[in-house]
Amino acid sequence: MTKAATAYKSPLHQMTQTTSTCLWNDSASLLELGYSIDHGAVGATCNPVIVVEVLKKEMHLWKDRIQELIRSMPTATEHDIAWKVVDEISIKGAELLKPIFDDLLTLGRPNKPPRPWLGLYATAIEDKLVIVGLAKDGPAQKADLRTGDVLLSVAGGQVRELAGLYRKVWSLGAAGIEIPITIYRDGKTIETRIKSGDRTRFLKAPKLH
């Protein structure tokens, strides 16, 4: 493998960074979309068939919300509830792309200047930001953050939605800065620090043997 190739996480990442090809993720799964964004994806698709597959993998994230929809829409049909779920899963996926929206409009892909990257994927559930995935060997995983942790604050500022989380993290400085994080886990409030990384360079392509 050449030195140039090892600057990319994968052949897919190299394609998105060195060609005019735009990568769209054919899934609204938060874990899958988060991975795709890390490899240069700029969009995602969602439809009823995709939503069924998402629910098979992430029902634990949606069960309470679906039950809440049923209670709050007593006259709704199964069809109505199903389309409401499709709408909400689509919106959650779009929230992951929203922070890079301006870059997509001007460049067609995220801008190059390195922002702090934590290597975690979160979603808002009942006004709380819950970690739903972690990049393998990423900053958050190395700091012992775990799936299911609730993000309470960043650098002393409360966070309850994804856009606010990204804005707060990015406002603290460039990639490499330590980010103070407060989380809630198993009935305990925990304060920790995450040494951020550069999302576009953190993971290297595997070496060929």
Confidence of residue 127 (pLDDT cuts 50, 70, 90): confident
30 vs 106, which has greater pLDDT?
A: 30
- CATH 2.30.42.10 range(s) for the chain read 116-197
What are 91-106's pLDDT values in tens digits? 888 887 777 676 666 6
**Cα separation, 186 vs 126, whole angstroms:** 17
Secondary structure E strands in the chain: 24-25, 43-44, 116-117, 120-125, 128-134, 150-154, 157-158, 178-185, 188-195, 197-198
- Looking at every residue in the chain, the average pLDDT score rounds to 81
80 C-beta neighbours (distance < 10 Å), count: 12
Confidence of residue 136 (pLDDT cuts 50, 70, 90): confident
**Cα separation, 27 vs 208, whole angstroms:** 29
**Cα separation, 192 vs 98, whole angstroms:** 27
Angle subtended at Cα 134 by Cα 33 and Cα 95, rounded to the nearest 5 degrees: 40
5 vs 163, which has greater pLDDT?
A: 163
Please name the fold of domain 116-197.
Answer: Pdz3 Domain (2.30.42)
**Cα separation, 121 vs 134, whole angstroms:** 6
Percent of the chain with pLDDT over 70: 81
What is the pTM for the complete model shown?
A: 0.51
**Whole-number pLDDT of residue 196:** 93
**Whole-number pLDDT of residue 153:** 94
**Whole-number pLDDT of residue 206:** 42
